[in-house]
Amino acid sequence: MFWKATEATAIAILATFAAAKPFVASPSDGSIISRPDVEPFPHNSGRLRPVSSPRTKTCSVTALGGGEDDASQILDAFHNCNSGGTIVLDGDYTIATALDLTFLDSVDVALSGSITFKADINYWVANSFKYDFQSSTAFWKIGGKDVNIYGGGVGVIDGNGQPWWDGFASNSSLLRPISLVLDGLQGGSVTGIRMINPPNWFNLIANSSDILISDMVLTAKSSNSNPVKNSDGWDTYRSDHVVIQNSVIDNTDDCVSFKPNSTNIVVQGLNCHGSHGISVGSLGQYVEQYDIVENVYIYNNTMSDASDAARIKVWPGVHSDFEPILSGGGGSGYVKNITYEKYESTNNDWAIEVNQCYGQSNKTLCELYPSNMTISDIYFIDIWGTTSSKYDPKVGTLVCSSPEQCYNFYAKNVSVTSPKGKSQWVCSNFDTSGLEGFDCISG
């Protein structure tokens, strides 16, 4: 399914990334930054990226400054430069009004300045774009076809998350917007942008296909005792043929999460810190929905100081109240053909977690109502490193709710140890014969 470069070439490109030189230099003479020539590497999602048509016009937006709302003039620029133009955002912009940019056709966005979302919580709660899935909301949404957004390593999207995290500390039902939503985008890329402090997730890729994400830096840090909340790096949802690569993420929730109906996805060359892992799910949350995650290749990534490195999480077959705005269970579907290969774990609580009882702490209830989600054809290859002391001497947990719902699990060259130098794995309710070298114990 996936195109593969030679081993030597793959090592060379990843060594370049490790040297922290992933970005195109920003011009110092005030000229427009150029779209970088970035391709999926060393793997693609199974088909070549669409070719962008020529850009023949330019629309520059002058920032109003002083915290004034730049949304209307940004919207005008997208209308004026639609169908073959480049929008230049080289100032410091404030967005205080919801922007629907899902009408785009053959547009580039050259962001060498910054975009900050005004923290007018009352306005955004009333006017942000709403999604049924997990009560998600958005400041803006970008869609259409053939859209490239690039920042040359200097462009910034600032979600201004601190007031939202402060508000969430006293109101756990507060719906906080996602910093960037690609919704219904067919063919496009987001590259070379720094993103900071999202109120909720950094990115959602929804109802989209043929998307490339590359050379990004994502950072979420609280300035007080109220923690960052739900700062997923990228969530994919109802999307196909997506590559996310060569980026650095320092956050507090999933580094990448494959939500319902994510297919043909590649994640490669990420350096993730402090997260909940590169995760399949959660899935099976909604009774009326049939969820699929299939053909996902997670290659040559590092994970440190996280709850998990590799993670698969699906809801049980009964309703569960997990958090004030996160509950569910009883949905059906399947997870199939998921590969984690060349994965370094450093001080993560679990190197691998498979959980068919997400959101429900009552183990007996989970056994009475096993998940309706099938998990099969799962591969863990060349995974190494250490875990934290939290579960020492255990290093991973693979717990299914029934053997009928979990099968064809394989592991090879997995060498992860706890601080005590042990390597015990909790394994239950599936055939463990394909887990090469695993010391399995019951949970």
Rounded-to-integer distance, Cα 256 and Cα 276, Å = 9
For residue 289, the model assigns a pLDDT of 94
Tokens representing residue 211 in the block: 């998307």
Instruction: Read off the pLDDT band of 310 (50, 70, 90).
Output: very high
For residues 423 and 350, is the Cβ–Cβ distance under 8 A? no
Task: Measure the CA–CA gap between 178 and 169, rounded to whole angstroms.
Answer: 18
Fold match, 1-234 / 276-443: yes
The pLDDT, as a whole number, for residue 14 is 38
Band of the pLDDT at 370, cuts 50, 70, 90? confident
Closest CA to 436 of 375, 383, 362: 383
Classify 135 as helix, strand or coil: helix
Instruction: Find residue 117's DSSP bridge partners.
Output: 95
Judged against a pLDDT cut of 90, whether residue 38 lies above it is answered with: yes
Query: DSSP labels for 197-251?
Result: --SS-SEEEES-EEEEEES-EEE---SSSSPP----SEEEESEEEEEEEEEEEE-
pLDDT tens profile 130-145: 998 999 999 999 999 9
pLDDT in tens, 262-298: 999 999 999 999 999 999 999 999 998 999 999 999 9
Query: Residue 421's pLDDT is what?
Result: 96
Q: Tokens 């774990």 appear where?
A: 345
Question: What is d(CA 234, CA 268) in angstroms, rounded to the nearest whole number?
Answer: 13
Among candidates 270, 267, 223, which has minimal Cα distance to 250?
Answer: 270
Q: What's the confidence (pLDDT) of residue 323?
A: 66
Residue 52 pLDDT exceeds 50: yes
pLDDT at 29: 46
List the domain boundaries for the chain: 1-234, 276-443
Q: What is the mean pLDDT of residues 232-253?
A: 98
CA-based nearest residue to 337, from 382, 377, 281, 373? 377
pLDDT 10s digits, 374-398: 999 999 999 999 999 999 999 999 9
Tell me how far apart the alpha carbons of residues 234 and 272 are, in angstroms, rounded to a whole number.
Answer: 12
pLDDT band at 30 (very low <50, low <70, confident <90, very high): low
pLDDT at 18 over 70: no
Query: What is the DSSP-derived secondary structure letter of residue 431?
Result: -
**1-234 has which fold?**
Pectate Lyase C-like (2.160.20)
Q: Tell me which residue of 398, 274, 427, 278 sits closest to 346, measured CA to CA.
A: 274
| CB contact set of 356 (below 8 Å; sequence gap of 6+) | 314, 316, 366, 370, 371, 373, 375, 399, 400, 401, 405, 406, 429
Catalytic residues: 276
When pLDDT is averaged across residues 229-235 and rounded to a whole number, the result is 97
Write down the pTM of the prediction.
0.92
More confident residue, 364 or 48: 48
Please tell me the distance from the alpha carbon of residue 202 to that of residue 196, in angstroms, as a whole number. Answer: 8
Quick one: tokens of 257? 């999460």
Q: Is the dihedral of CA 348, 354, 359, 361 positive or negative?
A: negative
Indicate the average pLDDT of the chain.
Answer: 92
What's the fold here for domain 276-443?
Pectate Lyase C-like (2.160.20)
How far is the C-alpha of 220 from the C-alpha of 197, rounded, in Å? Answer: 4
